[in-house]
Amino acid sequence: MINTLIEMFSYTFIVRAVVVGLLVSLCASLLGVSLVLKRYSMIGDGLSHVGFSTLAIASALELGDTPLTVSVPVVVLAAFLLLRISENSKIKGDAALALISAGSLAIGVSVISLTTGMNTDVCNYLFGSILAMSNDDVTFSVILAAVVLTMFVLFYNKIFAVTFDENFAKATGVRTGIYNMLIAFLTAITIVLGMRVMGTLLISSLIIFPALTSMRICKKFKTVTICSAVVSVVCFFTGVMLSYNYVMPTGASVVIVNIAAFLLFWALRIIPLAKLKTALLRQRIKQL
């Protein structure tokens, strides 16, 4: 076990991917609690697809060496747009997400097939690759993750209020629009950072799974948030080890570990109840 760990971390590309991945899973799990409760679970999926198409277009136009600097602003813009659409227009949130998500995936795939052709690069974009991170990417990711975490802690109480009851918050003079935009902004950054390790198709799981898992057991917003952060980080690390040991794609292994964690937490909630029921049944049988 320890030998495997030492061997694993002797590769710098794995260290880079793990550093970025841990930060991203931490940010995603914190934001995920709010997004899942606001019924915005699929926002991660939509935004990552937008990220995919901007990466494709950026590489087709040969816009610089660091695709992150191109895709962050575009995805942030898409996040604001999504928020606007779902608030104001007649197309409802989930339908708007589906439109943007499928549309940008189609554009991305078309651009790639017209320029470089469908190759392993595309596969890496879609399902994630541990080799994707350069040193510059890591620096950029660490800075952005620090921003996301600080903002989340500073605005924790506001995010709670806006998530629990937007109408009440608005009525008592809290500027909910700004905090909704803040959540969208932080989510967009997190998605772009995590996209290349986790893959376009799988990044949304980092937002959804830890939140749902911790909601099986925890009953306070604060504990849900903290538990979700811990679950997410542990699952990511275990997933990377799994992926290293069995030579599986990183994103997929992380999701599989997350599924296991979800089932475990779910079982933990069910089992005490089951015990209680059998105990009651036994008592009744005795009485009979």
Partner 1 sequence: MALITCQGVSFAYEGNTAVEELNFEVQNGDYLCIVGENGSGKSTLIKGILRLKSPSAGTVLMGEGLKSAEIGYLPQQTAAQKDFPASAYEVVLSGRLSSRGILPFYSRKDKAVANENIELLGIEPIRTRCYRELSGGQQQRVLLARALCATKRLLLLDEPVAGLDPLVTHELYRLIRKINRETGITVIMVSHDVASAVKYASHILHLKTKQAFFGRTGSYLNSGVGKAFLGGELSD
User: By the criterion CB under 8 A, which residues form the site for partner 1?
Assistant: 37-39, 153-158, 160-161, 164-165, 167-174, 215, 218-222, 224
Measured from the CB atom, the residue of 127 and 155 that comes closer to partner 1 is: 155
DSSP H helices, 38-66, are 43-60
Angle at 71 between CA 65 and CA 73, to 5 degrees: 120
* Min separation Cβ 278 and partner 1, Å: 23
Closest CA to 206 of 135, 121, 145, 123: 145
Q: At what angle do helices 250-287 and 204-217 cross, to 10 degrees?
A: 20
Q: Rounded to the nearest whole angstrom, what is the least distance from the CB of residue 185 to partner 1 in the complex?
A: 17
Residue whose CB is less far from partner 1, 13 or 164? 164
The CB-of-91 to partner 1 minimum distance in angstroms stands at 16
> 91 vs 102, which CB is nearer to partner 1?
91
Positive or negative torsion for Cα 104, 110, 112, 114: negative
Q: How near is the Cβ of 41 to partner 1 at its closest, in Å?
A: 12
Between 3 and 157, name the residue whose CB sits nearer to partner 1. 157
Q: How many whole angstroms separate alpha carbon 237 and alpha carbon 222?
A: 23
Check the CA dihedral 131-134-135-140 and report its sign.
negative
Distance set, CA 31 to CA 44, 73, 103, 198, 226 (Å): 10, 19, 25, 17, 11
- Closer by beta carbon to partner 1, 139 or else 223: 223
Sign of CA dihedral 89, 192, 252, 132: positive
Residue with smaller CB distance to partner 1, 15 or 151: 151
Q: How far is the CB of 68 from partner 1 (least distance, A)?
A: 29
What's the min distance (Å) between Cβ of 34 and partner 1? 11
